[in-house]
Amino acid sequence: RILYSMNKDGNTFDKGFRKSAKSVGNVMGNFHPHGDSSIYDAMVRMSQDWKNRATLIEMHGNNGSMDGDPPAAMRYTEARLSEIAGYLLHDIDKDTVPFAWNFDDTEKEPTVLPAAFPNLLVNGATGISAGYATDIPPHNLAEVID
């Protein structure tokens, strides 16, 4: 939802940075009405190069540190999609994926992204939910494509 909302608003790598609070507000108002902290935390994580092999968001300002220092508040940081994030959203406006109504039936949002590159393999995943756990390590993009 974050990537789709930023792309829809034209907050892409080839344009200037925008306040993170604006992107968070757009996501919360249109797609995820459950509080701003979870949205901003996800944005920050997607910008941290020590947590992702390919960062999906570029961020100006303090986005935390490897030592566990917290990021600055969203009003102090600016963000935009990274160039590689554009490949996750490539041709989304050409009916390539199914869309569903958002929480209040005012807008449609994609159920999946077209993903012209294998984000799950490149960035990996770690998590636990309802008794299931996963730990997919990150992989080198060139090796995955070969």
Short-list 22, 14, 13, CA closest to 56: 13
| CATH number of residue 4's parent domain | 3.90.199.10
Residue 129: inside a domain, yes or no? no
Model pTM above 0.85: yes
The pLDDT score that the predictor gives to residue 23 is 98
- Span 39-90, pLDDT tens digits: 999 999 999 999 999 999 999 999 999 999 999 999 999 999 999 999 999 9
Q: Report the distance separating Cα 30 and Cα 103, nearest Å.
A: 8
Residue 3: inside a domain, yes or no? yes
Instruction: Quote the domain boundaries for residue 15.
Output: 1-89
The one catalytic residue among 4, 76, 87, 132: 76
Residue 66: inside a domain, yes or no? yes
Confidence of residue 129 (pLDDT cuts 50, 70, 90): confident
Residue 22: inside a domain, yes or no? yes
- Give the list of residues 6+ apart from residue 105 with CB closer than 8 angstroms, or none: none
- Give the list of residues 6+ apart from residue 113 with CB closer than 8 angstroms, or none: 3, 4, 88, 89, 92, 97
Question: How far is the first Cα of the chain from the last one, in angstroms, to the nearest whole number?
Answer: 29
Residue 17: inside a domain, yes or no? yes
Number of domains in the chain: 1
Residue 72: inside a domain, yes or no? yes
- Beta bridge partners, 19, equal 78
- Span 64-77, pLDDT tens digits: 999 999 999 999 99
Residue 9: inside a domain, yes or no? yes
Is residue 4 part of the annotated active site? The answer reads no
- Span 93-102, pLDDT tens digits: 999 999 999 9
Residue 1: inside a domain, yes or no? yes
